[in-house]
Structure 1
């Protein structure tokens, strides 16, 4: 998320192509033609947009795109409130309507129930967003168990790179999450270790849609064959307006053990 914000701000102020502004090793002064005055404008914009304070001594050490991104990341890490604000801004920036997202939550709810989610189980929703999965599980699939959202907006400390569940959970959901990761397989391996019963995920189908143009924060594109090779059962769905443009995948310990 922060990397995308930095790229957008650099492109706006420098009037250089976004691809050039994404280059982590690019030198701001010589390659992007950003002088000290333009850098101050960029810092001001980033502080306003990311709800952080970047100290002058930190700004003085910024030479490359990577340095600039690190400055924002460090400032945000020091302020959970700023990370919450950025997460809220990201959610508000989504233009899809509720009924357009509904198919994802229905598919995930159906797979959870079909594969053994009961009212005695504890479910955690990673990257919970508006917590719409909770609504569909209860309103349409009769779930009466405990649902726990995990997201940056909850307390500002959530970071999938370092996050671990605070206690054992039976089921995990990760809807529209793995495409935002550079290495989605690492999360899937962790879920297999953590889940008492299993987990479900949804993601765009790269064979139908250009995943990277869907959302500038997408970092990975996946297909059924890849997810199946990682031990999951998959089904294709119409999630984004095209035929079979989305994937719902499920993994359970019973499936793994052949039960």
Structure 2
């Protein structure tokens, strides 16, 4: 709620002072507000049970929400950069004192939000809280930039400081937008989860007793914290396939945190009955 109040205050301040830097900073914080809101909505929707038509439930809604957020960030940054270009060519008058006052208010609120995170949240142990805390730190850096621009305009009447700071904030937004969009598309394209090595997984599976070879291995993410794997294991005749399956799934869960694995056992003389394919070697 504090973030939304701050966004409204900076939008009003940007319009009253004619400061693009304030509006850019408001856009930066608005993106954080929507990111947190979309994450909460996605989390609630993702809790809905699976159905016959959606066998994995609604877990992917989180990824769709992240993709929307990334695209919105790119659009906001593009608009700010275009406006900044216009101001480089014809710098308008900016009310430095008003800009300084609104930026000071924004800095106080951002510092208060950061203090609440440090006092009430586990920013070291909880990944989501840590990410949100880094967002707040980014807001603080952006607001300090606006403060510097306000001081330069107020004391030196250097109005180019406004589009310069706006460009810096816009580039921060653009970088975050591209990163979020890229990661979301990677998941939607069934890409390999970051930090997981397909070669290491294949090596561990081949080292299991009675495993002769393997093929048709696929590793992907259902959502950001839900990796999945499927593969075919060619095993020796007479092997206890039930025991081998338990050993393989336990190993994947303990070593690679993969709790959803579909493993098909095949004898050496049995040809694969599906359209088997394996990805090129990767890490």
Greater fraction helix: 2
Q: TM-score range by the shorter chain?
A: under 0.3
Q: Calculate the TM-score normalised by the size of structure 2.
A: 0.23
Q: Calculate the TM-score normalised by the size of structure 1.
A: 0.25
With CA pairs under 8 Å and 6+ residues apart, which has the higher RCO, 1 or 2?
A: 2
- Larger Rg belongs to: 2
